[in-house]
């Protein structure tokens, strides 16, 4: 009798196995960042210690601290990520997730995990990927090219302001980049939570980096899961750099302000 | 032995349940489809009709860019979530064969793979795109639109300029909801990314037709997007000082039937769909 039971179980497992493999993504167990290989098994332990309070044990963003946070901790089961080098609609590269974990997300509850070693972060990335089947079913698209920066000149800034107008960034970000455009109030993220466009004049770090190249990448790839769209189809590399140069002028005393701005931004957004 | 069979059923059932759960969220669909030369084929046609009292179909106020969005001066916009003709036919229903493994090559009409944004409306309202091919999107409007996809695709594409097609490859099969984040909260459309060509969208009389179907017995299904507004979030539009609400729609509904297809013949299938 027990033997038949075992046999039944074996057969059942054999049936179950492929579906688990193909659907749940439990077996996307690794991450690769340069020479580092992250293992989900190790990542799981770290996740239980550092991430579970916000992102939840199921990775659905329903950790015990979620109620106190705005924006909400990311629901990893949706497989949507803001900070990507890949085009809109594509999963991110492992290195994108790795960079995000190290960089944190300024103006939100997502801390910078610099105290963790690179190996730790690679392991965490491998584990975070297991929550969404997208990492099993899909391959990331080729990253968006970032052309060499053109010189910052008054002409470039002027052209950039025309690009800002013609691409209608002001619809959401406002004429002066204050995040108060005519469409700003109707915006929702992919979980139907209200979301505000970035206010350039506060001068906080962007969620997805702070360099000029980061800024270029942000509007070219868009922030998936949010209303911030991807402009890669609409501008030439030269126009994109003009736009970067112009956006920097909106961040009034960018550089000086940024020392205290992180703090201010936090207050402004709560 | 009897117990063995019972157990086996139970465990197999469990296995299937788990498989279903682990796949939930993936598109309803199928894994394999092979295009073959279809010789002695048949046709399926029929009508999707509404049964029962016609529900109140919600409209939203046109709160933004009225000069572009409302060339005829209408103050509100039909959400097009449920379009019932005078003859009771239900438009915009997708009728398709389930679990067909081989048949004709992809031949979805061009018109259902091209999306236009015109007078702040998505045209057509229901799109069908073969998995792995491009959805072509453009805007005829001079105001900003953005197409924000959710579901089987997550691309978010702005349309700052008119009349330029942007192709986006639809990689996953399933349903993709479209919405506009440029303040046109009434704009909505659905894209079905499909694995085989036996899909049709009903016309204004509820009529559909599937051609070149290899003879055999099939399960045929009618799919209709949810037409009820499940929830609404009210917000104040700073520009117009009008309260706008972004509707969240109820889940889509399906109705299944069996159909036998014989060579050279047309099989008739009638669907009657209703509020419950």
Query: Which has the closest alpha carbon to A87: B36, B213, B168?
Result: B168
* Alpha-carbon torsion, ordered B233, B237, B241, B244, to 10 deg: -30
In this predicted structure, the answer to whether residue B28 has a pLDDT above a threshold of 60 is no
Q: Are residues A87 and A184 in the same domain?
A: no
Count contacts between A and B (CB, < 8 Å). Answer: 127
First to last CA, chain A: 63
Mutate to test the interface with A, among B3, B10, B181 (most CBs of A within 10 A): B181
Cα–Cα distance for residue pair A165/A175, rounded to 1 Å: 8
Q: Are residues A165 and A132 in the same domain?
A: no
- The length of chain B, given as a count of residues: 276
Out of B26, B237, B239, whose CB is closest to A133? B26
Q: Are residues B104 and B35 in contact, defined by beta-carbon separation less than 8 angstroms? A: yes
CB–CB contact A186 B237 (8 Å): yes
Mutate to test the interface with A, among B141, B142, B148, B242 (most CBs of A within 10 A): B148
Listed in sequence order, the DSSP H helices in chain A are 2-23, 40-50, 52-55, 94-103, 118-129, 134-137, 154-166, 170-173, 212-221, 237-250, 258-269
% of chain B residues with pLDDT over 90: 75
Q: Are residues A222 and A129 in the same domain?
A: no
CB–CB contact A182 B158 (8 Å): no
- Which residues, at least 6 apart from B262, have a Cβ–Cβ distance to it below 8 Å? B42, B215
Tell me how close the Cα of A214 comes to any Cα of chain B, in angstroms.
19
* Any domain includes A84: yes
- The length of chain A, given as a count of residues: 270
Phi-psi region of A150 (alpha: psi -120 to 50; beta: other; left: phi over 0): beta
Average pLDDT over residues A20-37: 71
Query: Which has the closest alpha carbon to B93: B53, B151, B50, B133?
Result: B50
The residues facing B207 across adjacent strands are B47
Give the number of other CB atoms < 10 A from CB of residue B167.
Answer: 12
Work out whether the CA dihedral A50, A52, A57, A61 comes out positive or negative. negative
Stretch (H or E) spanning B47: strand B42-50
Q: Are residues B106 and B130 in contact, defined by beta-carbon separation less than 8 angstroms? A: yes
Out of B8, B158, B171, whose CB is closest to A229? B158
Q: Residue A258: which CATH number?
A: 1.10.760.10
* Total count of domains within chain A: 2
Q: Are residues A131 and A209 in the same domain?
A: no
- Which residues, at least 6 apart from A190, have a Cβ–Cβ distance to it below 8 Å? A78, A80, A225, A226, B150, B154
Token output for B159: 């349309």
Token output for B58: 């919600």
User: Taking CB atoms and an 8 Å cutoff, what residues of chain B touch A226?
Assistant: 156
Query: Which has the closest alpha carbon to B33: B82, B96, B125?
Result: B96
Strand order in the sheet with B94-98: B199-201, B94-98, B216-224, B253-261
Q: Are residues A173 and A99 in the same domain?
A: no
pLDDT digit string (tens) for B211-249?
999 999 999 999 999 999 888 776 665 555 666 778 889
Cα–Cα distance for residue pair A173/A251, rounded to 1 Å: 13
pLDDT digit string (tens) for A180-211?
998 888 888 888 888 999 999 988 889 999 99
Question: Where is the domain boundary, A112, A137, A162?
Answer: A137
Out of A168, A224, A228, whose CB is closest to B160? A168
Closest-CA residue of chain A to B27: A23
User: Taking CB atoms and an 8 Å cutoff, what residues of chain B touch A229?
Assistant: 146, 148, 156-158, 181
Greatest Cα pair distance in chain A = 85
% of chain B residues with pLDDT over 70: 85
Out of B7, B157, B246, whose CB is closest to A88? B157
Q: Are residues A133 and B26 in contact, defined by beta-carbon separation less than 8 angstroms? A: yes
Q: Are residues A250 and A158 in the same domain?
A: yes
pLDDT at res. A263: 34
Stretch (H or E) spanning A207: none
Listed in sequence order, the DSSP H helices in B46-177 are 66-69
User: Taking CB atoms and an 8 Å cutoff, what residues of chain A touch B238?
Assistant: 180, 182, 184-185
DSSP B65-82: -HHHH-TT--SEEE--S-
Token output for B216: 């055999």
* Any domain includes A256: yes
Tell me how close the Cα of A36 comes to any Cα of chain B, in angstroms.
29
Token output for A50: 């550092």
Could you tell me the fold of the domain covering B2-273?
Answer: Immunoglobulin-like (2.60.40)
In this predicted structure, the answer to whether residue B75 has a pLDDT above a threshold of 90 is yes
* Any domain includes A22: no
Q: ipTM for the complex?
A: 0.79
**Which residue segment(s) compose the domain that A101 sits in?**
29-137
* Any domain includes A67: yes
CB–CB contact A89 B155 (8 Å): yes
pLDDT at res. B239: 56
* Any domain includes A113: yes
pTM (2 d.p.): 0.84
CB–CB contact A4 B246 (8 Å): no
Q: Are residues A158 and A254 in the same domain?
A: yes
Q: Are residues A87 and A172 in the same domain?
A: no
**Interface membership of A138 toward B (CB under 8 Å):** yes
* Any domain includes A17: no
CB–CB contact A229 B146 (8 Å): yes
Q: Are residues A167 and A248 in the same domain?
A: yes
In this predicted structure, the answer to whether residue A261 has a pLDDT above a threshold of 60 is no
In this predicted structure, the answer to whether residue A23 has a pLDDT above a threshold of 70 is no
* Any domain includes A76: yes
CB–CB contact A166 B233 (8 Å): no
* Any domain includes A18: no
pLDDT at res. A2: 52
Q: What is the DSSP letter of B89?
A: B
Domain boundaries, chain B: 2-273
Query: Which has the closest alpha carbon to B194: B139, B128, B248?
Result: B128
Q: Are residues B178 and B148 in contact, defined by beta-carbon separation less than 8 angstroms? A: yes
CB–CB contact A19 B22 (8 Å): yes
Tell me how close the Cα of B209 comes to any Cα of chain A, in angstroms.
33
- Relative orientation angle of helices A118-129 and A40-50, to the nearest 10 degrees: 100
């Amino acid at each position: 009798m027990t033997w038949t039971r075992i046999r039944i179980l074996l057969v059942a497992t054999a049936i179950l196995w492929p579906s688990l493999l193909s659907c749940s993504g439990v077996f996307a167990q690794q991450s690769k960042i340069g020479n580092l290989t992250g293992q989900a098994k190790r990542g799981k332990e770290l996740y239980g210690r550092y991430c579970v309070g916000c992102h939840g044990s199921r990775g659905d963003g329903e950790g015990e601290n979620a109620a106190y946070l705005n924006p909400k901790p990311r629901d990893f089961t949706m497989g949507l990520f803001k900070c990507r080098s890949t085009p809109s609609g594509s999963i991110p590269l492992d290195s994108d997730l790795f960079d995000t974990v190290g960089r944190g997300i300024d103006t939100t509850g997502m801390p910078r995990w610099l105290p963790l070693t690179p190996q730790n972060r690679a392991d965490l990335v491998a584990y975070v990927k297991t929550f969404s089947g997208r990492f099993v079913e899909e391959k990331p698209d080729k990253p968006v090219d970032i052309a060499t920066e053109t010189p910052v000149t008054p002409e470039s800034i002027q052209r950039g302001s025309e690009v800002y107008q013609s691409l209608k960034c002001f619809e959401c970000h406002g004429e002066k980049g204050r995040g108060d455009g005519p469409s700003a109030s109707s915006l929702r993220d992919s979980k139907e939570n209200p979301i505000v466009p970035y206010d350039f004049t506060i001068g906080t770090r962007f969620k997805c980096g702070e360099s000029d190249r980061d800024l270029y990448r942000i509007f070219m790839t868009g922030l998936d899961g949010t209303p911030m769209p991807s402009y890669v189809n609409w501008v030439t590399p030269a126009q994109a750099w003009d736009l970067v140069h112009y956006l920097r002028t909106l961040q009034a005393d960018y550089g000086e302000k940024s020392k205290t701005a992180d703090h201010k931004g936090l207050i402004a957004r709560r | 032995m009897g117990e063995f069979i019972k157990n086996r059923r139970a465990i197999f059932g469990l296995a299937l349940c788990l498989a279903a759960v682990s796949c939930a969220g993936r598109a309803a669909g199928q894994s394999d489809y092979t295009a073959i030369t279809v010789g002695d084929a048949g046709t399926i046609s029929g009508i999707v009709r509404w049964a029962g009292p016609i529900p109140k179909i919600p409209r939203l106020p046109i709160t933004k860019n009225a000069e572009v969005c409302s060339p005829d001066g209408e103050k509100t916009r039909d959400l097009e979530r449920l379009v019932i003709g005078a003859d009771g036919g239900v438009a915009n229903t997708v009728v398709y064969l389930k679990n067909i493994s081989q048949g004709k090559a992809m031949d979805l009409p061009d018109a259902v793979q091209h999306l236009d944004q015109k007078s702040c409306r998505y045209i057509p309202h229901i799109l069908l795109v073969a998995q792995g091919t491009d959805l072509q999107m453009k805007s005829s409007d001079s105001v900003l639109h953005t197409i924000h996809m959710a579901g089987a695709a997550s691309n978010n594409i702005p349309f700052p300029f008119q009349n330029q097609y942007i192709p986006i490859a639809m990689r996953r099969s399933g349903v993709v909801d479209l919405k506009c984040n440029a303040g046109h909260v009434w704009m909505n459309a659905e894209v079905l990314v499909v694995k085989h060509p036996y899909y049709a969208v009903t016309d204004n009389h509820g009529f559909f037709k599937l051609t070149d179907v290899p003879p055999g017995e099939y399960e045929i299904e009618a799919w209709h997007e949810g037409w009820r507004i499940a929830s609404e979030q009210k917000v104040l539009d700073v520009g117009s000082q009008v309260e706008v609400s972004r509707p969240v729609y109820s889940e889509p509904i399906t109705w299944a039937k069996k159909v036998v297809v014989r060579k050279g013949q047309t099989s008739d299938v009638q669907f009657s769909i209703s509020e419950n």
